[in-house]
Every structure is written in C-alpha cells, then in structure tokens.
Structure 1
Amino acid sequence: MKKILVLNLGSTSSKIAVFTEYDMKFEDVIRHDIEQTNLPLNDQVDFRLESIKNALNLHHISLHAIDAIACRGGVLKPIEGGTYIINKKMYNDLKTFKYGFHASNLSGVIGYEIAKELNIESYIVDPVVVDELMPEARLTGIKGLERRSIFHALNQKSVAKEFAKSVNRKYEDINVIVAHLGGGITVGAHRKGRVIEVNDGLLGEGPLSPERAGSIPNDVLITWLIENEFTVHEAMNELSKHAGLMSYFGTNNCLEIEKLMENGDQKAQLVLDTMCYQVAKYIGACAASLEGDVDQIILTGGLSYSKYLINKVKQYVSWIQNVTIYAGEKEMHALNTGVMDLLYGKISTKSYE
C-alpha cells in the first residue's frame, strides 16, 4: 500500500495531505503569520518545512513511510499537461523564480528537498503553466506578442477526467468546455485531452472575477494606467488582486454580494449578472474553438456552489450542451491521483528539459 505526501503551498498557508493509495488519510491547512509570509519567498522555506514536519508528527505519520511526494506545480516555462518528476533543472527554475514569483513554487522546492533526504522521488502535476494552445489561439494583433496559457490546469483537467469516467469514456476521447469559477476565472476548450484554448486567468484576459479585471478595451485600459501613474508592478497588482468584485464592492466574497442583491441592491445584481454573462461569452467562444463538437460543459470552482450564479450561466449556455457541476475543487486528490497513477503504470512520467 503506497503512501503519498501532497504539498500545495499558497501565499498565506500550506496545505498538506497524506494518501494511502487513492484514499486521503488526513488533510491539514497550516496558516502562517503575516510576519512570516511577508518574508522573501526563499526565506520562507525553513519555517514552512518545519511546520509540515510538525503537522505530520501530530498525525503520527513518519516521513520514512512516504513513497513519493506530489507537489503543486509552480510558475515554470510552458509545458504540456501531465505528471513530471522534479529534476534538478526544475528545482533550480522554481527556487530562482526564473519564470515568475509565486508561493506555489515553494511546493516543489520543499518537496524536492524532502524527497532527496528520503531517497524517494517528488513530482508536480498539471501546473498553472500547462500550454497546449492551438497555433491560432496563440497569436495576437501585434507581431512578437503572444497569448499565454496560465489557468487552473490541475482542477480543470481533473474534473474533465472525472466527467469522462462517469460516462465510461477516456479524457483523450472527449471534447468538453470547463469553466473554473474562483478568485480568478478560466474557461478552457478541452479537445481530446488537450486544452487548445483558454483565457489567461492571471492578468491578461477573460471574464471579470472576484479579484481580476478580465478583458478591458485597450484605449480605456491605457488611459486608466496613465491617469493613475501606475508602475508595472502596481498595475499588475491592481488588475489581479483589487479588480473585479473587489473593485466594485471592496470584497471578493460572492456570498456578501449576493446578500446585497437579495436585499434589493440593483448594482450588486448587475455586476454579478455581468460576471455570469462574461463567463457565458467565453464558453461560447470555446464552443467555436471546438467547432461545435461539445460533449459537455462543466462548471467547477468555489463559485459553483452558488445556485444563482450557476443558473444564470446555464441560462446562456444550455443550448450548446448539457451542463455538469463539480462544485469546489479537489486539487489535493488530483495531485495524488497524478502521482499514484504514475506509480502503478497507468501513465508515463514526463521530463522537464
């Protein structure tokens, strides 16, 4: 019976779990003090590693009982989806933040260091930089500028595979549209196991979300940037953390905004309806990318618990295909499955080069 340690580190917390085979034995969310999380990311390795070991001790789990480590993939160069062994090159790219700064990089850094200590292997599964875009989806209207594929690859692919299994088919044999509705929103066209079209969910485009601005007309955006005299860093911070619902209401909590709507706040209803409308537009665009050959539309992520939001999106897109809901996200399970399937020979290891 194989045991997997799963690491999913974020900006303010460290999620860990241990699985025996495909069953989760425990999950813990370790909250860190703001003084700690304000430190440079590489300076956070020691205290996060210690907190992980302490949590395992509390649950009476010996590191020496672990067969492999599954880590949330960080910001790396664009790669295909799949399960990758963390080699020295990947470790260096994560630790030096070569392709971008994000706390998720620490998952692979710490996982690699623990694995080396135990003489086992560590892996990442479907990181946010999964890039399977078709060529037509990559180019823009300016030579030399290309669209990026940054999205909720882990959860999108996980629920697409879950749907395929529910209808006795393989992920590689179906065409589905997956909308991950969370703090950021990404909508992907999955064609035969590859995400050929998806909006850049971090900064570039897409529906407005609880925290993101989404797509904005070029002239309006440029004027706004100039008038506010933002630095590049400040502008990115505004567009990715303080826009969307945060900009309108000062909160990213959809439940609070739904309560405003239920109490007759017309602005709250308009903004929520606009978000749903924009999600639906991107689902429609993905249907075009799949040339109308759509087996299912899937809605997932934390916002998919909201009946109001789900019904509003369905109102726009149900004519395309039936809609399945996988509320929330199961990233820890998806990470474990990606590694466990590899250990049992169901899939092959991919190499980061």
Structure 2
Amino acid sequence: MKILTLNCGSSSAKYMVYDWDAREIMCKGIVERVTIGGSFCEHEVTGRDKVKIERECPTHKEAVNLILELLVSPEYGVLKDVKEINAVGHRVVHGGEKFNKSVIIDDGVLQVFKEIQDLAPLHNPANILGIEAARSILPDVPHMAVMDTAWHQTMKPPQFMYAVPYEWYEKHKIRRYGFHGTSLLYVAKRAAVLLGKDPFEVNLISLHIGNGVSANAVKKGVSFDTSMGFTPLEGLVMGTRAGDHDPALDFYMMQKLGLSPKEIDNILNKKCGLLGITGKYTDRRDVLKAMKEGDERAKLAFEMECYRIKKYIGAYAAALGGVDAIVWTAGVGEMAADIRARAMEGLEFMGIKFDPEKNRLARTRNSESDISAADSKVKIFVIPTDEELVFVEDVVALLENRYDVHTNFKYSFQDPAYRNKMRDEQFAKELQKNPDLIKAKAKIPGQTD
C-alpha cells in the first residue's frame, strides 16, 4: 500500500510517499516558492542524494502535478504509475470544533473547511487549494484530512474558554483551539517511549518551535492547554506573528494609522514577531548571527523569544502540578541550541537542568536526543517531529476502518522497537562526520542501542 501525504502552505507543497507494507519512506520533498515565482522542488529518494528541480508553479495545481511527475520519473521516481497511490493524506490547520480526529474528505467536509478558513488565514486557504488540486488530478483515490486542531480537543472549558461574552462562544464558537497538533501528538507519544512509561501516565511540556511556535501542556497523555488560541496568532514570539500582547494596542494603532481590520490582521500575522523587532530577520540563524555580530535589535528579539518560552514553561509546570519531561521539536527546537539553553537557564529550582555539551551536540533531525543533566529531575528531550508519519497512519487506519481518536488508537511509533530507516541512514552519515553526536543520543529504556 502506497500513501502520498501533502502539506500545502501558502507558497509551498511538502510531500512524502510511504510504503506501508514495507514500513518505510520511499521519497519525500518540498516544492517551494509556489505562486510567487522562481519555484523549485527539492526531492529525496531513500538511499539517494537529494536533487533540486526548477519549475515554475503559479498555482498549487502545477506544484501537485510536478510532485506526481517526479514520483513516476524514470530518473527520480519511486513508482511506475500514479495509480499505485492508494490514498492521499492532507494537512488541514484548522478544523474548528467539528473535527476531533482525521476524516475522509468529501464535498461536505471540504465545504466546512471553506466556511472556517478565515480562522487560519495563512494556512487553511492553501490547504484547501492543495486538496482541490490533488482531488482533480487523483479523483479515483480517497483523500483524508489530518487536522492540527484535533489533538487539542481534549482541553476542558477552563482552559479553552476566553473571558469574553459567553454568547460569542455559543453563536460564533470563539474559543481556544490550538495548533501544531499532529506534531505535538507524535512527540508526546515518542516522549512516553523514551521515558519508558504508559503514554497516558506522562506529564509533558512540549515546545514546537519553528516559524510558528506552540507550547503544549500534556497532562496524563492528552493536551491540557496550549499557547496558540482561536487562531495561530496567540502565544509565543514567532517568525512574523506577534503572539501574546495587549489587544487594545491593535485598536489604538488602527486609529493612529488609519488601518482597516484587514490591514491590522495582516500586520499582526506577517510583520510582527522576530521580523517586527529586528526589522529584517525571521530565520533564527540570521537572528543569532546578527546578534553575535553586535546587532542590538537581533539580541533583543532573541531575549524576548527565550524569555517568553521560559514563562510558558513555568506556567505550564504549575498548571500540570509536576512534569516528567520538556520536549523540544520542529526546525528551531531541534536545531537551535542557543535558544534552548537561554530558555531553560535558571530553571534548576524546578528540577529542570540541561547538560551544556549534550545541548550543543543535539542539532540533528535524524535522531532523538536526551540533553538532560545527570542530576536533572525532569528529563529534557529533543525529538525530531514526524507529522507525515501521523498522516500515513491515520490514512491507513481510515482505509481499513479501524481508526479512532488517539486515546483509543495505538500508533506504530509507540512501539519501543520502531525505527525510521531514512533517518537511521542519515544519522549514520552524521556520525561519520561527528562521532560525538552519539553522546546526546536518547536511549530507550530496556534497549542497548
């Protein structure tokens, strides 16, 4: 059984083909600069070097066409015919209150996504375009939606309600929804494996730090609270999003500058965060480089981001009443040792103590790392996320009519013996260049490897 996963962003289309029978990734890649010119695809087949193909993709339909063309290419492909694809799994950022798990997409489901797309204006419209493009090109296979919000449907009213008129919730469903759920589900289940515990006995603070940023309090294995809210704008400092701030300042600046609601929404989502503070940077690598070269605004952005993360760690530790592990994930969480170190500095009184050398070494997307100090009461893990594998498992379970909410469903990666062949191969290559990486590699209880 071959499963294609598609994760369409506003200007990108990320994909993977997974052989379910062999339990391995066949290929993966991303088409970048979709709709904005200069489009290209980085395509990687397991066991081969990554290749870059340049092709203009003015819409997501051209991007999906390019992906399918590469999948059957004599030179770069892994399939003889696109008819080998048995199903397609799509990422959908916002599912509202209607969806608490992944679903098979039909016209009714797609219409619901369209009705709530303004709740995630940077993501849902692109997700919908990707779904429509893929359904038009592959009309004879089932398409499934995997919602970022589904993981957080276990939150209770004290955590998800806002102190605004209750009628707003009753009539307009104004509440905290939370995002990055697919990633947070994966790392929560993997953290339980690394702790050697039942997944529904662990308390975690998971930190998904990428261009978008989420903190997630996991209590007894389910989402208890999260930093993103009604939309992905709330919470931590992000690449271009403001995160937490006094909402009155939005109205003040609308009056001061004569801005419309649409204009202020665009500013808060696309011109704030690290970009707003530095004036030019959204990539943490650029921020760190500029900071070390003496850029004071880059230093301020760095300190603001790390301080906000530290505040959420403290708040969620109090909310949970005890923490088994801190989990770092996503591009920045997996690679930015400086941000991890600064955000956890001074938390020894809470039993959170990291090993500086292991933290410095833990910069890989191909292996789980344990950066806890030997005497840390709380474990600290860096777990490379794998949203695509969650997509695949949900899709296959839906096809086989055995899927359910995660509290009643077990994923293959919850098995301590689970391995990711592509990541293992890449990590072996990394070890050849830097043997010290092994010092930070997380150990699974009961296993020697």
1:110/1:295 CA distance change after superposition, 3 Å: farther
Mapped to 2, the partners of 1:107 and 1:349 lie a distance apart of 25
2:206 is aligned, of 178, 183, 204, to 178
Corresponding residue number in structure 2 for 1:121: 142
Check if 1:12 corresponds to 2:20.
Answer: no
Check if 1:270 corresponds to 2:300.
Answer: yes
Q: CA deviation at 1:173?
A: 3.2
1:111/1:293 CA distance change after superposition, 3 Å: farther
Identity of aligned residues (%): 23
Mapped to 1, the partners of 2:131 and 2:35 lie a distance apart of 21
SS at match of 1:197: strand
2:269 is aligned, of 233, 240, 246, to 240
Match runs of 1:27-42 below 5 Å:
27-31=28-32, 32-34=34-36
1:324 is aligned, of 346, 358, 381, to 381
1:125/1:192 CA distance change after superposition, 3 Å: farther
Q: CA deviation at 1:23?
A: 1.2
Mapped to 1, the partners of 2:145 and 2:200 lie a distance apart of 20
1:344/1:288 CA distance change after superposition, 3 Å: farther
Mapped to 2, the partners of 1:81 and 1:208 lie a distance apart of 27
1:25-57 CA deviation, whole Å, 9 max, x = no partner? 0112123241699xxxxx946434423332322
1:74/1:218 CA distance change after superposition, 3 Å: closer
Spell out structure 1 runs of 4+ moving beyond 6 A.
none
1:97-144 CA deviation, whole Å, 9 max, x = no partner? 5442431223433455556x33x4322224246533211012323213
Mapped to 2, the partners of 1:53 and 1:261 lie a distance apart of 42
Corresponding residue number in structure 1 for 2:97: 78
1:254-299 CA deviation, whole Å, 9 max, x = no partner? 1111112212334322321121110111122222332x13221111
* Structure 1 unmatched ranges of 5 or more: 38-42
Mapped to 2, the partners of 1:126 and 1:74 lie a distance apart of 6
* Structure 2 unmatched ranges of 5 or more: 40-57, 169-173, 352-377, 407-449
RMSD: 2.8
Contact 2:183 2:387 in 1 (8 A): yes
Check if 1:105 corresponds to 2:128.
Answer: yes
Mapped to 1, the partners of 2:222 and 2:135 lie a distance apart of 28
Corresponding residue number in structure 2 for 1:40: none
Higher mean C-alpha displacement, 229-238 vs 27-36: 27-36
Highest RCO, 1 vs 2 (Cα 8 Å, sep ≥ 6) = 1
Check if 1:50 corresponds to 2:65.
Answer: yes
Match runs of 1:253-332 below 5 Å:
253-290=283-320, 292-304=321-333, 305-317=335-347, 319=350, 321-327=378-384, 329-332=385-388
Match runs of 1:139-178 below 5 Å:
139-144=161-166, 145=168, 146-178=174-206
1:113/1:285 CA distance change after superposition, 3 Å: farther
TM-score, length-scaled by structure 1: 0.85
Count residues with an aligned counterpart. Answer: 339
Corresponding residue number in structure 1 for 2:429: none
Mapped to 2, the partners of 1:342 and 1:269 lie a distance apart of 47
Larger radius of gyration: 2
1:162/1:104 CA distance change after superposition, 3 Å: same
1:188/1:316 CA distance change after superposition, 3 Å: farther
